[in-house]
Structure 1
Amino acid sequence: MMKKWWVLSGLILVSIVALAFYALPQFKVVNAWDGEQVVLPNKVWKLEFSEKVSLKSLDKDLIYITNDRGEKLDTTLELGEDQKTIYINPPENGYDLKSKVFTVHFKKGIQSALGRELKSPQAWKFVVKETLPVVGSQEKLASYFEEIIKEQQKSHGWFRTVKESLSATEDKATESSSADKAGGGDVSRTNVQVQGVDEADIVKTDGKSIFQAEHDRVRIIGAVPGGQMKLLSTIKYDETFSPNQLFLGDQQLLVIGQQYFNHYKPYEKQAKDTKIAPMSFSTKVLIYNVENPAKPKQIREVSLEGSFMSARKVDNLVYFITQHYPDYWLLKEERDIDIRPKFTDSIHNSEEKTIGYDEIHYFPQSREPNYTMIGALDLDQPKKEVAIATYLGSGNQIYMNKENLYLAVQNYGEMEFEDRGVMAPDTDVHKFAINGMKVTYHSSATVPGTVLNQFSMDEHNGFFRVVTTKGYAWDEKRPSSNHLYILDKNLKETGKIEGLAKGERIYSARFMGDRIYMVTFKETDPLFVFDASDPANPKVLGELKIPGFSNYLHPYDENHIIGFGQDTKIVAEKGSSQPRILTDGVKISLFDVSDMTNPKEKFTEIIGGRGTYSPLNYDHKALLFNKDKDIFAFPVSVYRNSEKNEFESIFEYQGAYIYSIDPATGFKLKSKVSHIEGDMPYYEDWESQIQRLLYIGDTLYAISPGGVSSYKMGSYQQIGKLEFGKSERE
């Protein structure tokens, strides 16, 4: 009897388990689509399943693609790190444009890791376009934004008006300063990522004058000789324009800033009356002739709607990029309102013009509610109209060399709006070919994870390299991990390394030819050294774990790299297995990477305690470095730790530190310079905050909102000072 009872109990238990098993949600592809998708020739399909997929399902007889003649294409299958995603890579030369339609096939034998099968075979269709399609009509543009509105409203009824973001600030890290002859001799230049590709900055010099963008004005300072500096001229603007970036051409000054518009009647009423969404603000470029710097003369004005994102200059050509969020919510009341982006150009009497529907391109499968506009100006042809390329969708990180521009855009795929910020996105990389003023779309790719900043991307020998963090470091259920991807000239994956430093995120990266350096952090700072000499087979050769982290990596020479970041302290928590990480003073490290398999932190320098920071922590342009002149200088605000409270910091110093660096002996503090005279105050003083350092010949200059000071290089003895308040009142 007992035996029968155990048998019966076992059968009941098996039945319960079986019922529970089959009661689980259906095993399916969660990002299936209806109708035909439009994609580009090198599209990599990312298919997300409801649960982990069995490795046996990576079978070309179960998952494959056919053309319009029913022929099976030579594609490859790859299982993602989460084991819930299958990637279908395109044929060697991309999809054949001669085929009118393609079909993705899923057969019934596909199984989950638990052994559950797809309920039924499926087939989804897509068409391939050679290049980015254009919007083409008001109806199509309105439909694009209406789909976004529906998606937002569907997310628990959530709907918000997207407002313009402030100007995106590009992050971190830098290349060696270039120098050339002008005026007083060797002249320092803005630290840039790519030699020969200048980046806009708040301070520039031509070797005779210093140009400074500050709040509501641009100052032109006569800098030579350093002991007799004087304010030559000030270009003042009203409250509707704020200059924040500068370029120098041949006797030309470019001022880039944000223009705000005051509407004479309520915004919504003006849009309704005119059927056109009026400009709220734009990115304006003003060009001045500064042959006589005491009397700058404006010769050109161009503006693109939206906030400033980035700018580059190659020889006489200037490229500037804006990001514009249109007020698409207006379509809910007036569907025929025109929400296309606008621009002005003084060669057309600054008449407001609208980008044509046939000039607005969009990225297939994208649902980003904004525009990217890339403007190009030729300084040698002042009468030539600005060239503008316009795209729906945008990103806030770009990499550019002389031939190509890469734009990194977050890709949330089919993710619900309420999951954004909780679930981590991937990154779409869009490549644009540069030919003079013409910026043309080339190709796209999607890489897992997100890009930290412009220094996470690089092109070398025709290969595009990018490092990303997949997931969030704080998410213990789905730990973050870090990856390196190498793509060919058509952005087809060539090589990769995945799954590094789980639970951490990237804090800085540096690409130096075949060598790649990457820093991640959560509790310690691992410095990874990659060998990418074989793009198909990159390798991690070395790893170094040290306290603290580097926000920024700077090359010293072939065998040494400088890390700039923060020191950290690990504090044990009572009753918790997880320690607390406290950020301490600014930390500078000199790494010896001569043996790539065994990187070493050769020397360190710690400045101050908690609260100590430098603009160099987040802005690579704040560094002045020249190996030959033996100068490594940066602005800094120093705090010391309080003995009473671990969270309290006491202000100690504001100014700039000047170091020399010797690979044999390390760092040596040569001098400190400050624009605060006498004793330090209790708090930082904004007007006295040194923002940039530069040199002209053998004179060093420190620039703050309140003035400029000059010093003899080497001894750093002060030789001159110019206070703007006094000069501008005279």
Structure 2
Amino acid sequence: MLNSNQLKLTAAALSIALLSACGSGGDSNSSVQDPGNGGKQTLPDKVPDLSTGEASAKKLRKASAEDFTTYLKNGVYLSQGASDVSDGSEAISAPTSDVSPTFSTTNVQESAVDESDRIKYDGDYLYIANTTDFQAAEGEHQQSIRILKRGETGELTPLSSLIASRDYYSKQRLYLKEDNLAVVLSNERGMFGITPEIDGIFAVTVAPEPVTQDFTLALVDVKDPAQSNITHQLRFDGNLVDSRVIGDSLYLVSEFSASFNGFEHGGEDLSLINYQKIIQTDISELLPKVTDIKAGTKRALVDPSTCYVPEEASELNGYHQITSVTRVSLNDPDSFTSACIASRTKGIYMSQNNLYLYGYYYDPQEATFDDPAQTVMHQFSLAEDAVTYSASGRVAGRLGNGNTNLRFSEHNDMLRVVTSRFTEMNGMVHKLYILEKQGDNLSLISQLPNNTRPTPIGKVSDRGLVEEDIYAVRFFGDKAYIVTFRLIDPLYVLDLSERNDPKITGALEIPGYSAYLHPISDTLLIGVGQNVQDWFIDPVAQNDDQIGAKVSLFDISDIGAPTLLQEKIFPGGYSPVEFDYHAFSYIKHSEDVFRMTLPVESWLTQEESDNSVTWYRRSELAAFEVHSGETPKLQYIGSSVIEPQSDIELQGYVWSGDDRGVIHDDHIYYVHGNFVWSSLWQTPQDTTGPF
């Protein structure tokens, strides 16, 4: 077994390997090569001194078709024989308005920016993206959508089942816009990561790459859901990073690794032969394509003249990965536009006006065991339905794991972002950055902590280090809420009203942590997480009745002294909301009453007659009300429970991460697996189903 120092040395060696793959190149005196598009050209008699020039660390510039062709071909040449690894990683819902909706919809970060989910509901019809081969013929795979109709008295009736694809994808997510249902089918992207842990030790994580480098968009006409039909099926080359919908525009962000199968692998002077081969290759063979499955046609996803490369890129630089931003009109899907950058992308954040691509860059000048990662952001304007590059910026640190887009917020033309990094001197360093677009730069306006306000975000241990990681971040207007955790849960309140002087105004310490925060109003905040005393102590040695999923109600009316009003603990449980906020459903029932549901999965034990202990699983949809009158309170209404002996459970394990709830007036619909259970708000434990 490796000791601590050996682990550090191993991680350092791996970091150097990553830096070698991602670093930018210098100048060369070699002659400029003809970019080549398959026409006649003079072939070079030697290979130029090429170097990788990934765009992630620099501002971008619009490339000509020639420039981009050269850059991509150089990158494909440089990438031969190298395995693709990831970059080492691993707007808040506004308070409900005075007009109370009668049913819940998908919980999103920014109002008017829709996000995909496995269910969509319009008050009349419930659409469920099936997680298994529901009603599939034996030996035949089907990706299908169930459609259920709600009756006048709230009952659900299965209406139809629609096959969206016969190809396998690990994720199937939906958008619903009036009479258009968009089905996005994709695979999870793999990763190879070096993640800093407490005490400076690095943890190495490896996950497989997707089976195929493609994803599919199916558009369904649901004007009459009983007679729904697929109007378009488009298969995109590349891996889906994320997507959003604004108005009738669907934005798809994808990442494509250009490759070339014609390289020689034996013989003399391979370098020159292979370099000549790649520059003679037509650029169209290296670009991602879009296949119209119904029409049987194919075309390029991007035009090289609409792409961007690093500002300082020369003819001796190259990078083989392309991130594309594609706008598809839901009303006219045959007419779509794309922009691209020669870079890889970790994820996105989108406001109503801008799209931000973010990724990680490792500064080769960092020669210590401190985490060298920097978060790089590229801003694209969405004005007039066009996607146009605007600016770039970077800050130290990375975004952690789970709901990373919630670490961003655009407010009053300012971008706020919270990052974390490990340092030997201080332990975990968590920072808030406020940036503003100035020309083509996202320029730093202020940060916290700073020289004037040095108090760290996170408690300092007896060793003089911050050993707590960030578990939740939420922005709300000119305030931010941050939860850190190791032994206790400090909830920090940050005042961002003065952009040049952000400050910590208050903190609350309680056991456990919140992994998701949801503002109810200017004065009330919901937290969903875990009640646990210390992850580093055997849970059996702790009080089992007090370990499990926790829902908390905080009073944030005094930003200098937040308080815990009430909490509900589900022993032995966790909620998918902790890592996917789409599982959180809510409506404003009345002026003073906020209703919400969240799924909880618990692993519990029961004693048998022979004194043995048997583990069993409990799946439930918990219902709560928050009363915001003179005496605010959190009221647990009860839970709709799926009994272990039910038919759906006998089919095998059903992952609770896909559980969802819908609230409509006084009805609750609990989606578990591919089926639905129904109950009334006043008696959620009395369920009917499955439907």
Which runs of structure 2 are paired with 1:148-547 in the superposition (5 Å)?
160-162=82-84, 186-215=102-131, 216-225=143-152, 228-237=155-164, 239-242=166-169, 244-258=172-186, 280-327=212-259, 334=274, 335-336=277-278, 338-345=285-292, 350-353=297-300, 355-364=302-311, 370-383=321-334, 385-414=335-364, 423-452=371-400, 453-471=404-422, 479-490=427-438, 491-498=442-449, 499-501=456-458, 502-547=466-511
Alpha-carbon contact 1:173-1:551 (below 8 Å) kept: no
- Partner of 1:488, secondary structure, is strand
CA apart distance, 1:601 = 2.0
Match of 1:707 among 675, 678, 687: 675
- Partner of 2:683, secondary structure, is coil
Alpha-carbon contact 2:258-2:321 (below 8 Å) kept: yes
Provide runs of 4+ in structure 1 moved above 6 Å: 177-181, 365-368, 419-422, 571-574, 579-583, 679-684
CA apart distance, 1:455 = 0.6
Alpha-carbon contact 1:226-1:719 (below 8 Å) kept: no
Which runs of structure 2 are paired with 1:581-730 in the superposition (5 Å)?
584-609=547-572, 612-628=573-589, 630-640=594-604, 650-662=615-627, 664=631, 666-676=633-643, 685-687=652-654, 689=656, 691-716=659-684, 718=686, 720-723=688-691
CA apart distance, 1:248 = 0.9
Worse-superposed segment, 488-497 or 664-673:
664-673
Larger radius of gyration: 1
- Partner of 1:601, secondary structure, is strand
Deviations 1:563-602 (A, max 9, x none): 111112248989xxxx999993112221211111112222
Separation in 1, partners of 2:122, 2:602: 32
**Alpha-carbon RMSD:** 4.0
CA apart distance, 1:225 = 3.7
Match of 2:270 in 1: none
Deviations 1:36-83 (A, max 9, x none): 9xxxxxxxxxxxxxxxxxxxxxxxxxxxxxxxxxxxxxxxxxxxxxxx
- Partner of 1:377, secondary structure, is strand
Task: Give the aligned residue type for 1:250.
Answer: E
TM-score (norm 2): 0.71
The number of equivalent residue pairs is 553
Separation in 2, partners of 1:589, 1:208: 32
Separation in 2, partners of 1:258, 1:557: 36
Match of 2:15 in 1: none
- Partner of 2:553, secondary structure, is strand
Separation in 1, partners of 2:231, 2:428: 51
Worse-superposed segment, 535-544 or 240-249:
240-249
CA apart distance, 1:142 = 2.4
Percent identity, aligned pairs only, is 24
Separation in 2, partners of 1:425, 1:688: 33
- Partner of 1:294, secondary structure, is helix
Deviations 1:18-50 (A, max 9, x none): xxxxxxxxxxxxx997439xxxxxxxxxxxxxx
Which runs of structure 2 are paired with 1:121-132 in the superposition (5 Å)?
131-132=61-62
Alpha-carbon contact 2:151-2:157 (below 8 Å) kept: no
Separation in 1, partners of 2:492, 2:92: 16
Separation in 1, partners of 2:671, 2:220: 22
Deviations 1:343-401 (A, max 9, x none): 23479753243533333322347987532111112223355x11111112232332211
Q: Structure 1 residues 209 and 415, CA, compared in 2 at 3 Å: closer, same or farther?
A: farther
TM-score (norm 1): 0.68
Worse-superposed segment, 649-658 or 311-320:
649-658
Separation in 1, partners of 2:667, 2:632: 26
Alpha-carbon contact 2:64-2:304 (below 8 Å) kept: yes
Match of 1:143 in 2: 74
CA apart distance, 1:551 = 0.8
Q: Structure 1 residues 353 and 408, CA, compared in 2 at 3 Å: closer, same or farther?
A: closer
Task: Give the aligned residue type for 2:222.
Answer: V
Q: Structure 1 residues 558 and 571, CA, compared in 2 at 3 Å: closer, same or farther?
A: closer
Q: Structure 1 residues 306 and 176, CA, compared in 2 at 3 Å: closer, same or farther?
A: farther
Match of 2:207 in 1: none
Match of 2:36 in 1: none
Task: Give the aligned residue type for 2:457.
Answer: L
Alpha-carbon contact 2:481-2:494 (below 8 Å) kept: yes
Separation in 1, partners of 2:104, 2:434: 33
Alpha-carbon contact 2:641-2:685 (below 8 Å) kept: no
Deviations 1:428-479 (A, max 9, x none): 11111002431111001111111230110001111111111022xxx75662
Q: Structure 1 residues 247 and 455, CA, compared in 2 at 3 Å: closer, same or farther?
A: same
Separation in 2, partners of 1:494, 1:289: 47
Q: Structure 1 residues 445 and 572, CA, compared in 2 at 3 Å: closer, same or farther?
A: closer
- Partner of 1:199, secondary structure, is coil
Alpha-carbon contact 1:175-1:192 (below 8 Å) kept: no
Separation in 2, partners of 1:642, 1:344: 54
- Partner of 1:500, secondary structure, is coil
Alpha-carbon contact 2:520-2:594 (below 8 Å) kept: no
Deviations 1:317-339 (A, max 9, x none): 11121122334687575542543
Alpha-carbon contact 1:174-1:553 (below 8 Å) kept: no
CA apart distance, 1:678 = 5.6
Q: Structure 1 residues 308 and 466, CA, compared in 2 at 3 Å: closer, same or farther?
A: same
Alpha-carbon contact 2:289-2:300 (below 8 Å) kept: yes
Q: Structure 1 residues 484 and 164, CA, compared in 2 at 3 Å: closer, same or farther?
A: closer
Match of 1:568 among 503, 519, 532: 532
Separation in 1, partners of 2:307, 2:477: 36
Separation in 2, partners of 1:348, 1:620: 37
CA apart distance, 1:707 = 1.3
Match of 2:27 in 1: 35
Separation in 1, partners of 2:341, 2:543: 42
Separation in 1, partners of 2:213, 2:384: 28
Alpha-carbon contact 2:409-2:475 (below 8 Å) kept: yes
Deviations 1:109-149 (A, max 9, x none): xxxxxxxxxxxxxxxxxxx9883445735443222344456
- Partner of 1:454, secondary structure, is helix
Worse-superposed segment, 337-346 or 369-378:
337-346
Q: Structure 1 residues 129 and 600, CA, compared in 2 at 3 Å: closer, same or farther?
A: closer
